[in-house]
Amino acid sequence: MSYKIGIPRALMFHYYYPSWEVFFQEMGMEVVLSPETNKRILDEGVKRAVDDLCLPFKVYYGHVLELLDRVNYLFVPRLISLGKGNAVCPKFMGLPDMVRATFKQVPPLIEPVVDLRKGLFPLRRIAHQIGEKLKVNYWRVEKAYWKALKKQREFAEIQQRGFTPAEAMRILKNGSVESQAGRDNGLRVAVLGHSYITNDKYLSMDIVGHLRKMGVKVVTLEMFRPGLLEKAAERQPKKLFWIYNREVMGAAYHLLFESKERVQGIIQVTAFGCGPDSLVNELVSINSKKHQDISFLNINIDEHSGQAGLITRLEAFIDLLERRKMA
């Protein structure tokens, strides 16, 4: 049987989509993806969420709504932990339940519990759970699983060559990606934040694209080897348990203290209401004071953020960097 599997283009999508797509297609399913975030999706998501929920999850609701009556199953994994000593934000842990409580009529969810602390080959076990639920032949699932793993590796490798996840996805699809860089002004700036924000053009108001148009070479955390970030994050005496934040913090510390390829500025992008960021950004800010020649910009995004204000701030920041560079 071929089912339509709905995948919301938000949150975990930005980390794992290429492998999910391969996995479901190899099992003979049809993958239905929600469109890129737009005003309607954002507004509908905001309308359905409780006020205090952070923006990326509100957007997730908007994407779920797009898929509701178009699919047989909705793929909403429940992330618990991606390894020993790490956790994710509580909202990821409750996501399937939150989706069910928010929407009265939802298609059945495929909601594997992703807790990679336990057992041998936990991911493979999860793959087979999904396969069983969709009544797919064991060996077909096994094959799909290995293909998906390979895809995820390719996806990571392309990003480490200096592409953002969105570009890497396009390269996997089309083999190449158009360059949008403007006149090179010799500046290197890091844009650090959760991939589901920096990589969502609408949500982040395309900070990366705007910077590139200004001629800036942009670095994002996906472009580093994970081991490098992990090592840099160890500067914090107590291991940070939120895995996605450990990457962000690791990237910041790596650029501040270890990297040989210098950046002139670091832009931290945070969504309003993000719990882990509220603490981690403080630690990074305190540490950044030790490093006088890297400038910092904090950008907080909420549902009322406007492009005009953002571009002004980015331009001012880049002007400042250029002037500092000439001095």
**Closer to another protein by Cβ: residue 206 or 247:** 247
Note whether 50 binds another protein by CB under 8 A.
yes
Stretch that binds another protein, among 11-19, 90-98, 171-179, 195-203 (CB under 8 A): 90-98
Q: Which residue among 49, 71, 136, 221 contacts another protein (CB under 8 A)? A: 49
Note whether 273 binds another protein by CB under 8 A.
yes
Instruction: Supply the DSSP symbol for 87.
Output: B
CA distances from 58 to 24, 42, 119, 268, 301 (A): 26, 7, 33, 21, 13
Q: Residue 56 CB, nearest distance to another protein (Å)?
A: 13
Stretch that binds another protein, among 155-163, 202-210, 234-242, 313-321 (CB under 8 A): 234-242
Q: Which residue among 30, 36, 132, 282 contacts another protein (CB under 8 A)? A: 282
Stretch that binds another protein, among 79-87, 135-143, 203-211, 256-264 (CB under 8 A): 79-87
Note whether 126 binds another protein by CB under 8 A.
no
**Closer to another protein by Cβ: residue 86 or 295:** 86
Instruction: Supply the DSSP symbol for 202.
Output: T
- Angle at 52 (CA atoms; ends 47, 58), nearest 5 degrees: 45
Note whether 18 binds another protein by CB under 8 A.
no
Note whether 278 binds another protein by CB under 8 A.
yes
Contact code string over 92-121 relative to another protein, x by CB under 8 A: -xx-xxx-xxx----------x--------
**Closer to another protein by Cβ: residue 62 or 273:** 273
Note whether 241 binds another protein by CB under 8 A.
yes
Stretch that binds another protein, among 33-41, 66-74, 78-86, 117-125 (CB under 8 A): 78-86
**Closer to another protein by Cβ: residue 97 or 258:** 97
Q: Residue 171 CB, nearest distance to another protein (Å)?
A: 33
Written as one letter, the residue type at 307 is Q
Question: Which residues between 169 and 228 bind another protein (CB under 8 A)?
Answer: none
Q: Which residue among 275, 291, 316, 325 contacts another protein (CB under 8 A)? A: 275
Q: Which residue among 135, 237, 292, 323 contacts another protein (CB under 8 A)? A: 237
SS (H, E, C) the chain: CCCEEEECCCCCHHHHHHHHHHHHHHCCCEEEECCCCCHHHHHHHHHHCCCCCCHHHHHHHHHHHHHHHHCCEEECCEEEECCCCCECCHHHHCHHHHHHHHCCCCCCEECCEEECCCCCCHHHHHHHHHHHHCCCCHHHHHHHHHHHHHHHHHHHHHHHCCCCHHHHHHHHHHCCCCCCCCCCCCCEEEEECCHHHHCCCCCCCCHHHHHHHCCCEEEEHHHCCHHHHHHHHCCCCCCCCEHHHHHHHHHHHHHHHHCCCCCCEEEEEEECCCHHHHHHHHHHHHHHCCCCCCEEEEEEECCCCCHHHHHHHHHHHHHHHHHHHHC
Which residues bind to another protein, rule: CB under 8 A? 49-50, 52-54, 78, 80, 85, 87-91, 93-94, 96-98, 100-102, 113, 236-238, 240-242, 272-279, 281-283, 286
